[in-house]
Structure 1
């Protein structure tokens, strides 16, 4: 969640590049953990990512009351830590995770979840490389290849998959072409006792919403036995959360903290998340409620 800020004193404010937006902005950068279905989503945990300019400045840390344990993290580390803290420390029921961050260190990121026994599907950055594991497919035995190159070669093997569009007209049905490829990480071997280093089998999922050689979206998962169509529908839960963030999140003020401290930001985001959950559970102002057809008069 990018939070635009004009000032410089709120905790974590800096010049940040957001790959999801495809642009840089000045402000704060936070990662939220959401429970989501096709018709409902609500944030349950947040982690504010602090850049180097804050982590290594003792004066800033003291003024913003940043705990000693908080250090510098990459986007992938911050997003992963937010989810795994929720699922392991809180002892919540195990559910698949849709990590909607543009991950480039795929093996390491998926490995964190594999080590915790958590099924995950991560949005893969275009620069990522993997190795094809299926002998019947182009690229097998060629070593690490760009994921766009892998998917472009198997575009013709895709099958139509239906899904619900949370950002479109009320519960509109859409369809895409999806294809799944068995792959491994770009590494050649795994370190003893450690997964996620390139030797485990993964699945690369490509989606084409329109005709064309390059995919619309690319994902990598450790859920190797799940059909491509089911994986595709799972990825759309990220759009469910994004749609509700744009509607309900703005209404309850998720981005509206005006203080400066680290603890103050977390107090605000916790209360705003509780308000978001209430609004979502009552159907008051959710993306679905605003998009639903008006009731007909008798």
Structure 2
């Protein structure tokens, strides 16, 4: 049986240093004031060149100015600039330079020893199997087989933070953050905001084994966004009966129904992002399904089962609304989660993704925005990683700017960030005060 081979990755053939500089200039050019643009340059320069922790003190040391620490702190935590236009500009630039094939929704957990950093709280972290005092957020990554970069962020706020007037005041949490948001709602809001910038409607890839599947499917379907969502074996589904003369659907778990697709499995070769140049083979089967409680009639979803060739049990289960996509394209899309994880560990950690010390909501978002720009600069300037999961390319469009964030009240500096999740092999900075 002939294996289904995915499309090969594009190999960069030109010097990208000028394009990287142009991208930074374009993104920081979204800041209205000259002094803000200058401080943005200093901050990104510090993220790229400061060894170790990206504390305000260490970042300021790269400028050679005594007053830089207070100036940079005010620029991040207490200024009035809106981060959304910078993220929109970065998205448009990366669509052109990175040629992304999917939007990957990736969780981020930052352990803390203290309780003062915005959004910090005790949460059970499935990837660690324990309760951790931490901040919890989500990033939206533009990903291709060659590389991945974050462009948008959400920070999870529990009811403890939103219901406490004093906590809200100290962290300058905006008034429109009135209710606790579920993980699914945060992810959907982030994706829809990015789509609203005029970005290309690429497939949304997410791991929802610990989240609600139905809200994600419903939201992405309403927005007409293609999606591929990893689900747990216990996810309830309905599949058409394969028995002759029967029209009633078969109800069962995703793991159980995947057995119906066993006879439809085909081998697909793919490149492992964790091991550049290493080719692996998986068996992929497809089964039309729908969610319980969904509209009756023809199945609108496809259950994708992925098996290791030497094991009987299904290794991965995915749901997609892209009924016309082939096995190789779907498996390639799923592998882009690994591409984002690899670039988080290899690039984001080194430019301070976990090192924000401030306590303000606005400060966290501004730091995350400039980390995204530093990540893109290092990723593109250092050459793209070849050999990730491959998918069929999609047409690209430009982005547009948006506006609209609130002001930030002055706050004191806070603790350091810690360990990324998921990924047991991710680099660990250790928990810090918060």
TM over 0.5: yes
**Which residue pairs with 1:116 in the alignment?**
223
The one of 63, 85, 91 equivalent to 2:170 is 63
1:181 equivalenced with 2:280 (yes/no): no
Residues 205 and 219 of structure 1 are in contact (CA less than 8 Å); yes or no, is this contact kept in structure 2? yes
The structure in which a higher percent of residues are strand is 1
Which one of 159, 165, 173 corresponds to residue 266 of structure 2?
Answer: 159
Q: What is the alpha-carbon distance in structure 1 between the residues aligned to residue 364 and residue 342 of structure 2?
A: 23
Counterparts of residues 226-245 of structure 1 (less than 5 Å): 226-245=325-344
Q: Is the 8 A contact 1:157 1:179 kept in 2?
A: yes
- Contact 1:11/1:261, CA 8 A, preserved across alignment: yes
Query: Number of residues paired by the alignment?
Result: 278
Q: What's the secondary structure of 2:259's corresponding residue?
A: helix
Q: Aligned to 1:216, what secondary structure does the other structure show?
A: strand
Q: Where do 1:43-122 residues align within 5 Å? A: 43-70=150-177, 71-87=179-195, 89-102=196-209, 105-122=212-229
Q: Tell me how far apart the structure 2 counterparts of residues 268 and 98 of structure 1 sit (CA, whole Å).
A: 25
Aligned mate of 2:378, from 271, 279, 282: 279
| Residue 46 of structure 1: how far off its partner (Å) | 0.5
Larger relative contact order (CA 8 Å, sep ≥ 6): 2
Instruction: Say whether the 8 Å CA contact 2:240–2:250 is kept in structure 1.
Output: no
Relative to structure 1, is the Cα distance of residues 109 and 101 closer, same or farther in structure 2, using a 3 angstrom cutoff?
same
Question: What is the alpha-carbon distance in structure 2 between the residues aligned to residue 181 and residue 133 of structure 1?
Answer: 9
SS at match of 2:198: coil
Aligned partner of residue 155 in structure 1, secondary structure: helix
Secondary structure at the aligned position of 1:167 is classed as coil
The TM-score normalised by the length of structure 2 is 0.60
Post-superposition offset of 1:223: 0.4
Contiguous gaps of at least 5 residues in structure 2: 1-107, 388-434
Distance 1:93 1:7 in 2: 40
Bigger-Rg structure (1/2): 2
Q: Summarize the Cα distance change of 1:104–1:204 in structure 2 as closer, same or farther, 3 Å threshold.
A: farther
Kindly report the root-mean-square deviation, in angstroms, between the aligned alpha carbons of the 2 structures. 2.4
Post-superposition Cα deviations, 1:108-130, rounded to whole Å, max 9, x if no partner, equal 31110111111011111333110
**How far does residue 140 in structure 1 lie from its aligned partner after superposition?**
7.7
Tell me how far apart the structure 2 counterparts of residues 46 and 245 of structure 1 sit (CA, whole Å). 14
- Residue 126 of structure 1 aligns to a residue whose secondary structure is coil
Q: CA–CA distance in 2 between the matches of 1:6 and 1:40?
A: 33
SS of the residue 1:185 aligns to? coil
Q: 1:77 to 1:142 in 2, by over 3 A?
A: same
1:133-282 → structure 2 map (5 Å cutoff) = 133=240, 135=242, 141=248, 143-168=250-275, 170-187=276-293, 189=295, 201-282=300-381
